[in-house]
């Protein structure tokens, strides 16, 4: 399996990269340059892509090589793919020869044997690349191929520039790839993680569409997993949601990308708290995750005010010019916060966070300093651990809710956080518990969260509207409209209390999935 770290570099930073002392220090030979021309093939209905593979024929140094890549995945920019190659005499693929390299019973081998596939294959897109390669030996002894690719991807008259780095592990430990990338950034080379292959970018030209919005996917945990193995699966699931929405956030086309990246981040931070005694995350990484949460949270708060809170009360608000002015002011803040969120995710700081977290995760660095009982707990069965966690969270949530009838906004906020923590934990471990019981429990939790969430949205909106009333920025008309909405929200929040108590009673009487 091929294991490599993919990074993006701006063309104007390439000169500094080529002159980097790190490349000169660790190179075992002078760099070599190789022009490459790739032709990616597929059928009109994209049978290759739909099988989660890529098929190309590459011309380099006067020779032609066909390659099938498939499987694997991406975690913190670390790409792992299965790869099969054979020489071919020219620019057309030879599926029969390629199929001999695969397991005959695999889905890809069966696909290649289909007569209609060969008959309908056609060029989908091409790449023209100037590749520069350095063979490196890192300080820990790892053997690495460092690749700089410059060129473009072409499809149907459209082009997309390529300026990227691949750091492929030939021998050694994957976490050291992250360390080397971090060293380059610390040396003044701005880099960004890349979660897309050239094939994926080519298909984006072939079949244009907006960046995907990635929602949380179900965490699938086998009962035989250890606590540490379960932790890794949960981390990968959360990271997949965060990284999957990166393009949507940076391009700023759909605000749902910010929301879903934030959800993924909150799930990740919740999971880190859940495992903090056994897999303690470094304080510096936790602080950077909090920074990212703040950047995404500001954008989301203004967006909720604009698209959810304000429309909810629009019918009850008198038709006056002040409301139009208020909406315009909120829209300006939404746009500005979206720009700031996009800039944060596109920044070197975000790249450093992603690489640092990737190194910590790939190297299981939480083991550093763990002794005795904690080490044994990491190797303990996951189902028992999940029951203990869910029972603990359930008890804590019930304690929070006992005085709900007399709770102020701060107490309701703490209850909401506890409910969210319990729901995330239940969803992480749901595959280890009876499905019907999990479904009923999560449904009751979700209804409770929705009610608490609206009250929290009203409280957040009150703070944001207060900013719009500040004397140095607000006109009398704007301040008056903001004040009216604040008063309305305060009154509406009071009317929600009976329904909240009803939902609490329903949840408190629901049997938790961890109880036998």
Phi, psi dihedral angles at 219 (to 5 degrees): -85, 125
Name the burial class of residue 358, with classes exposed (0-12), middle (13-18) and buried (19+) by CB atoms within 10 angstroms of its CB.
buried
Domain ranges of the chain: 2-206, 219-380, 382-516
Q: Distance between CA 178 and CA 239 in Å, rounded?
A: 16
Inform me whether the pLDDT recorded for 494 exceeds 90. no
- Tell me the pLDDT tens digit for each residue of 353-389: 999 999 999 888 898 877 778 888 999 999 999 999 9
Inform me whether the pLDDT recorded for 321 exceeds 80. no
Task: Kindly indicate whether the domain formed by 2-206 is annotated with CATH number 2.40.320.10.
Answer: yes
User: What residues have CB less than 8 Å from 426, skipping those under 6 apart?
Assistant: 390, 438, 441, 442, 445, 513
Mean pLDDT for the stretch of residues 419-424: 95
- Tell me the pLDDT tens digit for each residue of 179-189: 999 999 999 99
- Tell me the pLDDT tens digit for each residue of 328-359: 999 999 999 999 999 999 998 999 999 999 99
Q: For residue 46, what pLDDT band results from cuts at 50, 70 and 90?
A: very high
**Of 403, 261, 412, the residue nearest 342 (C-alpha):** 261
Q: For residue 210, what pLDDT band results from cuts at 50, 70 and 90?
A: confident
Return the residue matching tokens 């049997």: 511
Percent of the chain at pLDDT above 90? Answer: 69
**Of 342, 354, 364, the residue nearest 6 (C-alpha):** 354
- Note whether 182 and 355 are within 8 A (CB): yes
User: What residues have CB less than 8 Å from 254, skipping those under 6 apart?
Assistant: 210, 211, 213, 248
Inform me whether the pLDDT recorded for 31 exceeds 90. yes
CA distances to 53, 148, 363 from 182, rounded to whole Å, are 30, 17, 15
pLDDT score recorded for residue 102: 84
Beta bridge partners of 6: 166
Q: For residue 33, what pLDDT band results from cuts at 50, 70 and 90?
A: very high
Phi, psi dihedral angles at 515 (to 5 degrees): -85, 130
For residue 425, the surrounding DSSP H or E stretch is helix 409-428
Q: Distance between CA 241 and CA 367 in Å, rounded?
A: 25
Mean pLDDT for the stretch of residues 317-323: 69
For the chain, what is the mean pLDDT?
91
Q: For residue 47, what pLDDT band results from cuts at 50, 70 and 90?
A: very high
- Tell me the pLDDT tens digit for each residue of 113-127: 888 888 899 999 999
Q: Give the tokens for residue 26.
A: 């660790």
- Note whether 68 and 108 are within 8 A (CB): yes
Q: Distance between CA 288 and CA 271 in Å, rounded?
A: 16
SS3 of 56, please?
strand
- Tell me the pLDDT tens digit for each residue of 276-315: 999 999 999 999 999 999 999 999 999 999 998 888 777 6
Q: Distance between CA 444 and CA 507 in Å, rounded?
A: 5
Name the CATH superfamily for 219-380.
CHAD domain (1.40.20.10)
Q: In 31-145, where does DSSP find H-type helix?
A: 47-50, 95-99, 107-112, 115-120
Q: In 469-511, where does DSSP find H-type helix?
A: 476-495, 497-508
pLDDT score recorded for residue 142: 94
Q: For residue 134, what pLDDT band results from cuts at 50, 70 and 90?
A: very high
Q: For residue 77, what pLDDT band results from cuts at 50, 70 and 90?
A: low
Q: In 58-127, where does DSSP find H-type helix?
A: 95-99, 107-112, 115-120
pLDDT score recorded for residue 496: 82
CA distances to 232, 234, 337, 343, 366 from 76, rounded to whole Å, are 13, 14, 25, 19, 17
Strands 2-8 and 32-42: unpaired
SS3 of 79, please?
strand
Q: For residue 72, what pLDDT band results from cuts at 50, 70 and 90?
A: confident
Q: For residue 60, what pLDDT band results from cuts at 50, 70 and 90?
A: confident
Mean pLDDT for the stretch of residues 184-209: 91
pLDDT score recorded for residue 515: 67
pLDDT score recorded for residue 62: 86
Q: Which fold has domain 382-516?
A: CHAD domain (1.40.20)
Q: Distance between CA 212 and CA 260 in Å, rounded?
A: 11
pLDDT score recorded for residue 297: 95
- Note whether 92 and 39 are within 8 A (CB): no
**Of 269, 505, 219, 137, the residue nearest 386 (C-alpha):** 219
- Tell me the pLDDT tens digit for each residue of 238-282: 999 999 999 999 988 889 999 999 999 999 999 999 999 999 999
Inform me whether the pLDDT recorded for 407 exceeds 80. yes
Confirm whether 2-206 and 382-516 share one CATH topology. Answer: no
SS3 of 135, please?
strand
Phi, psi dihedral angles at 179 (to 5 degrees): -60, -40
């Amino acid at each position: 399996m091929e294991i490599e770290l993919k990074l993006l570099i701006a063309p104007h930073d390439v000169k500094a990269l080529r002159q980097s002392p790190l490349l000169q220090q660790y190179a075992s030979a002078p760099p070599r340059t190789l022009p490459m021309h790739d032709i990616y093939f597929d059928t009109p209905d994209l049978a290759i892509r739909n099988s989660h593979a890529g098929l190309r024929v590459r011309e380099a140094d006067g020779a032609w090589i066909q390659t099938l890549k498939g499987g694997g995945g991406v975690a913190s920019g670390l790409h792992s793919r299965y790869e099969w190659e054979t020489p071919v005499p020219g620019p057309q693929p030879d599926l029969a020869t390629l199929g001999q390299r695969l397991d005959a019973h695999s889905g890809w081998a069966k696909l290649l044997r289909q007569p209609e596939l060969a008959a309908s294959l056609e060029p989908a897109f091409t790449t023209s690349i100037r590749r520069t390669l350095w063979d490196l030996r890192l300080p820990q002894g790892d053997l690495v191929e460092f690749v700089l690719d410059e060129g473009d991807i072409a499809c149907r008259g459209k082009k997309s520039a390529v300026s990227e780095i691949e750091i492929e592990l030939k021998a050694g430990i994957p976490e050291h790839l992250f360390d080397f990338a971090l060293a380059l950034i610390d040396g003044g080379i701005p880099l960004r993680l890349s979660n897309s292959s050239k094939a994926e970018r080519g298909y984006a030209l072939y079949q244009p569409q907006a960046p995907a919005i990635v929602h949380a996917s179900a965490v699938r945990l086998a009962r035989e997993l250890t606590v540490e193995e379960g932790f890794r699966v949960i981390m990968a699931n959360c990271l997949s949601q965060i990284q999957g929405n990166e393009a949507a956030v940076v391009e700023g086309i759909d605000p749902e990308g910010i929301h879903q990246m934030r959800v993924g981040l909150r799930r990740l931070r919740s999971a880190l708290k859940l495992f903090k005694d056994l897999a303690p995350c470094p304080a510096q990484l936790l602080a950077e995750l909090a920074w990212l949460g703040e950047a995404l949270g500001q954008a989301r708060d203004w967006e909720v005010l604009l698209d959810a809170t304000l429309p909810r009360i629009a019918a009850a608000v008198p038709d006056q010019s002040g409301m139009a002015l208020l909406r315009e002011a909120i829209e300006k803040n939404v746009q500005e916060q979206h720009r700031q969120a996009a800039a944060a995710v596109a920044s070197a700081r975000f790249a450093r966070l992603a690489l640092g977290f990737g190194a910590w995760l790939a190297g299981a660095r939480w083991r550093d300093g763990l002794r005795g009982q904690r080490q044994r707990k990491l190797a303990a069965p996951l189902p028992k651990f999940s029951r203990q966690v869910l029972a603990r969270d359930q008890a804590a949530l019930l304690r929070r809710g006992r005085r709900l009838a007399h709770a102020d906004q701060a107490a309701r906020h703490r209850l909401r956080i506890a409910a969210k923590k319990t729901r995330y934990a239940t969803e992480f471990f749901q595959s280890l518990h009876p499905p019907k019981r999990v479904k009923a429990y999560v449904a009751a939790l979700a209804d409770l969260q929705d009610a608490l969430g609206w009250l929290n949205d009203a409280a957040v909106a009150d703070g944001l509207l207060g900013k719009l009333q500040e004397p140095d920025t607000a006109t009398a008309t704007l301040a008056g409209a903001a004040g009216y909405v604040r008063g309305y929200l305060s009154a509406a929040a009071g009317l929600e209390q009976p329904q909240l108590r009803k939902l609490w009673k329903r949840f408190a009487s629901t049997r938790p999935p961890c109880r036998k």
